[in-house]
Structures are given as C-alpha cells and as structure tokens.
Amino acid sequence: MSPTGTQIGASRVLAGMGAAAHAGVRTAGGMWLLLRRALGWMALGLAGRARMPWAAALGQMVRVGVKSLPIVCLSNLFVGMILAVSMADILRSFNMEARVAQLVAIAMTRELAALMTAIVMSGYVGAAMAAELGTMTVNEEVMALETSAMNPLRFLVVPRLLAVMVMMPCLTTVAYYMGMSGGYLVGVHLLGIGSAQYIEINNSAIAMRDVLNSLIKAEAFGIIITVVACYEGLTVTGGAEGVGRATTRAVVLSVFSIIAANLFFATVFNYMLI
C-alpha cells in the first residue's frame, strides 16, 4: 500500500523535527567543548604555564568595556526612567508615589541591570565578535594559525572571553547607578518626590545579596555571549553570506540563551537559596 499524502507530510514534519533536534544538540555540544578548552587555556595562562595573550586581552577589554559604556549607560538610564513612569500611576492610586524609588532600585539590582546590559552587549559586542571571527574563517586566517601550530582558541577566543568576563560585572555595576539615576530624575523632577527622601528610600531598598546575585548572572551572561559568538564565527561556511547568517544567528541565540539563563538563575536565587 502506497503512503498517503498525510503520512508523507507527517513523516516530513518528524524528519524536520529530528534534524532540528540533532543540529541543536550538536551546536550545544560544540559550544560546551569550545568553552571547556578556552577555560583550560585561560587557566594555564593565569597559572604561568602558557603564554597569555595579554595585549590582545587588554585591547578587547577596551573594546568590550570602554567603547560599550555609552550605550550601556543610555539604555539603562532609559530603562530606569521607563520603569518609574510606568509604575507611577499604579503607586499613586495607593498614595505611595515615593515607593517608586524602592521599586526601581529592587528591579535594577535584581534583574534589569544585568539582563539589559547582556542584551545590549549581545547585539553590540557579540555580533562584532561573530562577524570578525567569521571573516577570518572565510579568509582562511584561522586555518593559517592552525598551519603555523598556533591554537586559534588560545589566540582568538581566550582574549575575548577573558575581556568579557572582566568587563561584564563592571558594566553591570555602572548599569545599577544609571538605572537608579533614571528613576531619580523621574521621581524628583516629574513626580515631585524630595531628593533626600528619594535617595534614602532608594538606598534602603538595595540588598547586598541582590547585587551579588546580579553580578553572578552578569558573569554567566558574558560567558554565554562570548561562547555563542565565537562558536558561530569559527564555524562559518558559505563565504560572505555565511558570515551574515552566523552574525544574525549569534545575536538571536545569545538573546534566547540569556533569557533562559535568567529564568534559571531567578528560580535558583529566589526559591532554592532562600
């Protein structure tokens, strides 16, 4: 008996799902292997057992940290202002407008500073890393390193990973202040809350535990951005068009992974580590 059209369609759907699952598992495994090897080279370099490309790492720190500072500051400033404006009407109905300061401080330190900084960095830094490494791969520069007995992970991935791991907590710390400054501007100049009162409520709402948890998340988000971008860049195929696809895929996958990781950390920090 020949298969019907419905059976053929179902088999194609199942085949597509299987192929997508296989590709996903293969990608996750490749990223895990890249991270493990990069951390191994980093540990050897920090222990003095291998030469660490410090010059490249410092250059990446300037690129990742200093050059990203304006966009990180502006985005988190606006997030704090948006949060204060959005919640003002709700709090006004309870005659608790001054609690805008508390809400903004808690939201920025617990969730928004690290999350927004990571999303901005995935588009600003992650895309650049994927495009740069993808271009090197297409132009066979990575192959030239391998031919010269120079490990590409050691000279291309490790400096980027080290730079992001150092700078992401620093950028997130700046994001705290910018987000709370945005709330301050709205609370004092738009809602009429006294400056001293706003600062007192804001400071009393900040818990060191929330700050430390947020910095842990920022570190994890930075690792995700770097590993995804470097993996996509080093596995590019198809010339210039492939570089464009890899860059887009790196940003999309980074943002999705960051949001999923944020859900995981929120669950662990709020319900498992009480």
Q: Which of 31-35, 111-115, 171-175 shows the lowest mean pLDDT across its residues?
A: 31-35
Which residue would you say has higher pLDDT here, 2 or 81? Answer: 81
Q: Do the domain assignments include residue 204?
A: yes
Q: Do the domain assignments include residue 8?
A: no
The total number of structural domains that make up the chain: 1
pLDDT, tens digit (0-9, with 9 covering 90-100), for 180-200: 999 999 999 988 888 999 999
State the chain's mean pLDDT as an integer: 87
Q: Do the domain assignments include residue 6?
A: no
Q: Write out the residue range of the structural domain in which residue 249 sits.
A: 27-272
Return the ∠ at Cα 35 (arms to 155 and 218), rounded to 5°.
105
Q: Which of 129, 195, 193, 190 is nearest to 163 (CA)?
A: 129
Please check the confidence at residue 21 and state whether its pLDDT lies above 90. Answer: no
Q: How many other CB atoms are found less than 10 A from the CB of residue 168?
A: 28
Q: Do the domain assignments include residue 20?
A: no
| Mean pLDDT on 34-42 | 88
Q: Do the domain assignments include residue 156?
A: yes
pLDDT, tens digit (0-9, with 9 covering 90-100), for 78-137: 999 999 998 888 888 777 877 898 999 999 998 899 999 999 999 999 999 999 999 988
pLDDT band at 269 (very low <50, low <70, confident <90, very high): confident
Q: Do the domain assignments include residue 72?
A: yes
Q: Which of 245, 248, 229 is nearest to 237 (CA)?
A: 245
Q: How many other CB atoms are found less than 10 A from the CB of residue 261?
A: 17
Q: Do the domain assignments include residue 116?
A: yes
Cα gap 83→101, rounded to integer Å: 10
What DSSP string describes 206-262? --HHHHHHHHHHHHHHHHHHHHHHHHHHHT--SHHHHHHHHHHHHHHHHHHHHHHHH
Q: Do the domain assignments include residue 189?
A: yes
Cα distances (angstroms) measured from residue 107 to each of 35, 115, 174, 251: 31, 11, 15, 25
pLDDT band at 49 (very low <50, low <70, confident <90, very high): confident
Task: Identify the residue whose tokens are 């890249």.
Answer: 34
Q: Give the dihedral of Cα atoms 59, 34, 134, 224; nearest 10 deg.
A: -70
Cα gap 36→175, rounded to integer Å: 29
Burial class from Cβ neighbours inside 10 Å (0-12, 13-18, 19+) for residue 47 reads exposed
Please check the confidence at residue 260 and state whether its pLDDT lies above 90. Answer: yes
